[in-house]
Structure 1
Amino acid sequence: MDTATHITMGVAIGGLATIDPAVEQNPELFHAVFIGAIIGSHAPDFDTFFKFKDNATYIRHHRGTSHSPLAVLLWSLIVTLPLFLIFQDASFSHLWGWILLSVILHVFVDIFNAYGTQALKPFVNKWIALGWISTFDPYIFGLFSAGAIAWLLGADPVVTYGTIFFVVFLYYIKRFLDKKEITDILQKHFPSATKIITQPTIRHNEWRVVIETPKFYFVADYDHGHIDIKDTFEKRDYPDSTEMNAAFQDENVKSFRNFSPVYRHEIERHDDYTEIRFIDLRYRRDGHYPFVAVVTLDKFYNILTSYTGWIYSEEKLQKKLESLT
């Protein structure tokens, strides 16, 4: 989920914590829990600091190890310990328990969008991206924001947020059924499909989908039962060549391939260099595919430049590659 929704969920955990008699009866513990739940609800995304190193490191680790079971435990303790030292009358077990819940909730809701997480790492390194919920879902954000306003106006936080969590639970079930309906329809239209990836948008009935078959990739929009094929790409095997093997060793390309479940490649040869481009097919926007990995090699297969990340125009991509020269 986006940062704003994570924070509103943290506020919700802080309000729901008043169901705990220890929190309700101890103002110091309540304040510690409230602050800790808000910080804990965002803590796993502190891995954004990897971006200061480079995009390859960020893509490799964002929502990766930082969202694993061990990291969840560590984040909860990292947030709890300073607050326990500041609010010395707070019960450590109650404080840690509610903060732990806020961190778990963060990781749990992240698995439902198209980006996903490695929430089971190191037991399972696969990215879990269910594709039911948009990264920013206005309905979920609106409900939790309304809950915060109602609490400020004097509503009982336990009743308010208990109701909201129940409604959101039902909403998740509905979105699961929406996705199932879409994938069933797509499977009928593409009976040879080996993979169907869904990406909900902020518009409730509009989805972006990628269908992989043994011979083709189909990129489409799905709207109220209507399938609009935007692009069709023939699948091509990766050549067993020195240049491709060299590209596969590049850190940017490694990070991209580790993260992306469906992508294609292009090879463009020039007099002095070869450019190999890997293109994620999930994020088509205005006819452009912004998430890429690009590597250029000289005639001896040495890497000249490489990049992975989000670029929203060909002109910006070329400028980025020139800046890396």
Structure 2
Amino acid sequence: MDTGTHVVMGFALGGLATLDPVVAETTATSQSVLIAAIIGSQIPDIDTILKLKNNAVYIRNHRGATHSIPAVLLWPLVILACLYPFYPEANLFHLWIWTFLAVFLHVFVDIFNAYGTQAIRPISSKWVALGIINTFDPIIFGLHVIGLILWGIGFDPGYTFLVIYAILVCYYLLRVLTQRAVKSAVRRKIPDAEKIIISPTIRFFQWRLAVITKEHFYVARAYKNSIAIFDKYKRIKVPSLPMIEEAKKDKNLAAFLSFSPVYRWEIKEYEEHYEVKFIDLRYRSNGHYPFVAIVQLDSEHNIVSSYTGWIFSEEALRKKLEIIPD
């Protein structure tokens, strides 16, 4: 989920914790639990700082180790070690319980996005991405804001968020059923579909689709149970050409290939250099595919420039590469 949603979820969990009689009985415990819930709901995303280094490192690591099983167990201990000295009268066990729930909830809700997490590391490095909830969901965020407003005007925070979370459980179940209906509609439209990759959008009834068959890639959009196919590409295996084999050694392209489950490729040959480009098919927007990896090589197949990330114009891409013009 987005940062704003994780923040309001932290406050909500702090409010929900007031239903715990041990938390409610002392000011030290209730205050420390609220602070810990807010921090715990944010701390797995500390790896966002990797974006300051470069996109390749960020793509390879964001929602990776910091969202893994060991991290979910260790983050609450780190928070307690920092927070408990300021609240020595707090109940340590119940403080740990609610801190753990905050961290766990952060990772759990991220699994429902199309981006996903490596939540089952070290058992497997596979990305778990259910594609059910958009990174920012206005209904989820809005219900939390309503709960915080009700808390602010005097409603009991525990029961308020208990009701809101009961509603959200029903909402998640509804999204699961809606996604299944979309998958069924895709199979009717494209009977030979081998894999269907669904990405939710901010609109409840709209979904982005990338469909893989034995022979083709389809890029489509679903609205309710209606499927509109925008692009169809021949599924061509990436060849073992010298420039491609060399390009795969580049950190930007390697990061892209470690993350993207469905893409097409292009090779362009110019007078003095080659361009190897890989295009993720999941994020079509206004006829454009913004998530790409591109490697420029000289005539001897030496890598001279590369980039991976979100690009919305050719001009912006050239500025990122900076070395070799068209």
Give the conservation status (yes or no) of the 8 Å contact 2:114–2:130.
yes
The secondary structure found in structure 1 opposite 2:322 is helix
Aligned-residue offset at 1:225: 2.2
Q: Is it true that 1:189 corresponds to 2:189 in the alignment?
A: yes
| Distance in 2 of aligned mates of 1:111 and 1:196 | 17
In the other structure, the counterpart of 1:291 is: 291
- How is 1:101-180 mapped onto 2 (pairs within 5 angstroms)? 101-180=101-180
Give the conservation status (yes or no) of the 8 Å contact 2:182–2:224.
no
Residues 134 and 324 from structure 1, CA distance in 2 versus in 1: closer, same or farther, beyond 3 angstroms? farther
TM-score by length of structure 2 reads 0.97
Q: Is it true that 1:280 corresponds to 2:274 in the alignment?
A: no
Count of aligned positions: 325
Give the conservation status (yes or no) of the 8 Å contact 2:189–2:227.
no
| Distance in 2 of aligned mates of 1:309 and 1:222 | 25
Q: CA RMSD in A?
A: 1.2
| Distance in 1 of aligned mates of 2:59 and 2:112 | 18
What stretches of structure 1 move > 2 A for 4+ residues in a row?
Answer: none
Residues 302 and 140 from structure 1, CA distance in 2 versus in 1: closer, same or farther, beyond 3 angstroms? same
| Distance in 2 of aligned mates of 1:323 and 1:120 | 40
Identity of aligned residues (%): 49
Partner deviation per Cα, 1:277-302 (whole Å, 9 max, x = no partner): 11111111111111111111112211
Partner deviation per Cα, 1:58-111 (whole Å, 9 max, x = no partner): 100001111101111222222221110111211222111111100000000001
Residues 303 and 183 from structure 1, CA distance in 2 versus in 1: closer, same or farther, beyond 3 angstroms? same
| Distance in 2 of aligned mates of 1:21 and 1:225 | 47
Q: 1:234 is matched by which residue type in structure 2?
A: K
Partner deviation per Cα, 1:238-264 (whole Å, 9 max, x = no partner): 111221111111111111111111111
Q: 2:183 is matched by which residue type in structure 1?
A: T
In the other structure, the counterpart of 1:317 is: 317
In the other structure, the counterpart of 2:260 is: 260
| Distance in 2 of aligned mates of 1:166 and 1:250 | 47
| Distance in 2 of aligned mates of 1:271 and 1:65 | 43
| Structure 2 unaligned regions, length at least 5 | none
Q: 2:53 is matched by which residue type in structure 1?
A: K
| Distance in 2 of aligned mates of 1:243 and 1:324 | 16
In the other structure, the counterpart of 1:202 is: 202
Aligned-residue offset at 1:224: 2.6
Aligned-residue offset at 1:307: 0.9
Residues 271 and 324 from structure 1, CA distance in 2 versus in 1: closer, same or farther, beyond 3 angstroms? closer
Q: Is it true that 1:237 corresponds to 2:237 in the alignment?
A: yes
